[in-house]
Amino acid sequence: MANRKNAEQIKQDILSKLKEGPSSIKKLSEEVESTWATINTYLDELKNEGQVRELLSGSNLRIFVRTDYPVFYGLPLDIEKRNNCIFLLSKIIEFWKEKNDNEIPSKTTIQKIAVEIANRNPQFNLPIVRFHYGRVLPVIVEPTNISQIVNEYVLKKPSNYKEFEKEIKLEIGIDKGHTNIAWIERKKQYEKHKDMKIFQIKETLSYKFYKQNLSEDILNLFYDLFMEIPTKDRYSRIFRKYQDFISSVNFIFSTKEFQESNEDKKSRYISEIFDSFNSIWQELTTEFFFEDIEPSLINEEEKTPELVKESKISSCSSETDEKLNNLMEYKRSLHYLSKKLNGDEKQIMEILLEGANEE
């Protein structure tokens, strides 16, 4: 007769299974060979102890993940890729400290070094994703507890680990100029890669806002960023929001109230504009993230990636809508100073309004 597992053993089994990635109660009960009710009870206990968190909770489906699970949004990343990412990031920390008198590298520095290595070495099988601050590996690193993460999640050294180490040494060498200053690391990445222009513009916009440099070219920069927003179906929702955003900004800048207000009042309008802008940015870069990570995720029955994406995008989206609606409300309350259209604009208006009797 098989020995019955005690509570601690079951909890350990659950935690061990969850190292592979997020899981539903049903799947855990099959894998740990306990009933649904037992697993449910112990998961609640583990949750209270802070060892797991509920990634998704629906009426029919509860999905859990370990609290130390290092993948962004708790997504089920392909295990070999995850393994390689953590190995690389941990080695970057180790080598950086060795080279710089035990200085702890910032998370941004670690990620930007890792992305350069991953870009140069596709054979390392490392996923790169766009996120809020440019390209990163989709794995969270806390330099202070990296050894714990390595112990828990690095199942084996990559077979070509020496190549990894060689590349890290090369990348953190003097000629690559990594500074351990987050904004410089970001800026370098954006400037180096031509397809990251949108991040570069965002950085400039944030800097101008931070410096309260509220000159007219902010609208111009918003337009520069508009030019970089993809038009394909996946982004059409965000494209339309940005259309509304830029139209509202254009409107506010053309109102009597804005033009006649003092610097302090103007900066309040600009703050609100940036608040909306940042929300759209979060939504856009979350969509970038899911687009880039999709090929590296494990397909599983519960469709966790789709559900996580739906939940993240929907929360970003409602936040953006709320802020955007507030901004658009100004169209009702402020007084627009009508512009004289130039020749081209008159012609565009003519095209748009022709055949009005068919409307």
Write out the residues near other proteins by the rule CB under 8 A. Answer: 223-224, 226-227, 231-233, 236, 239-240, 243-244, 246-247, 250-251, 254, 331, 336, 338-339, 341-342, 344-359
State in angstroms the smallest separation of the CB of 27 from other proteins. Answer: 34
Pick 153 or 269: Cβ nearer other proteins: 269
State in angstroms the smallest separation of the CB of 279 from other proteins. Answer: 19
Classified as helix, coil or strand, 147 is helix
d(CA 279, CA 292): 20
Residue 310's nearest CA partner among 42, 63, 21 is 63
Count of C-beta atoms within a 10 Å radius of residue 206: 15
Count of C-beta atoms within a 10 Å radius of residue 353: 9
Classified as helix, coil or strand, 130 is strand
Dmax over Cα atoms in the chain, in whole Å? Answer: 90
The DSSP symbol for 50 reads T
Count of C-beta atoms within a 10 Å radius of residue 159: 7
Pick 243 or 259: Cβ nearer other proteins: 243
State in angstroms the smallest separation of the CB of 331 from other proteins. Answer: 8
State in angstroms the smallest separation of the CB of 344 from other proteins. Answer: 5
Pick 233 or 263: Cβ nearer other proteins: 233
- With beta carbons less than 8 A apart as the criterion, state whether 258 and 266 touch: yes
Pick 182 or 313: Cβ nearer other proteins: 313
d(CA 31, CA 19): 13
- With beta carbons less than 8 A apart as the criterion, state whether 132 and 281 touch: yes
State in angstroms the smallest separation of the CB of 254 from other proteins. Answer: 8
State in angstroms the smallest separation of the CB of 205 from other proteins. Answer: 15
Pick 109 or 276: Cβ nearer other proteins: 276
State in angstroms the smallest separation of the CB of 244 from other proteins. Answer: 8
| DSSP codes, 341-352 | P-HHHHHHHHHH
Residue 109's nearest CA partner among 195, 198, 184 is 184
Pick 15 or 313: Cβ nearer other proteins: 313
Question: Distance of CA 256 to CAs 161, 332, 334, 335, Å?
Answer: 64, 13, 7, 6
State in angstroms the smallest separation of the CB of 232 from other proteins. Answer: 7
Pick 170 or 349: Cβ nearer other proteins: 349
- B/e letters for 324-340, b = 16+ CB within 10 Å, e = fewer, are beebeebeeebeeeeee
Pick 72 or 226: Cβ nearer other proteins: 226
Pair of tokens at residue 220? 């111009």
d(CA 200, CA 219): 16
Pick 1 or 356: Cβ nearer other proteins: 356
The DSSP symbol for 334 reads S
Residue 146's nearest CA partner among 94, 111, 98, 81 is 94
State in angstroms the smallest separation of the CB of 357 from other proteins. Answer: 4
Name the E strands within 82-176. Answer: 129-131, 134-136
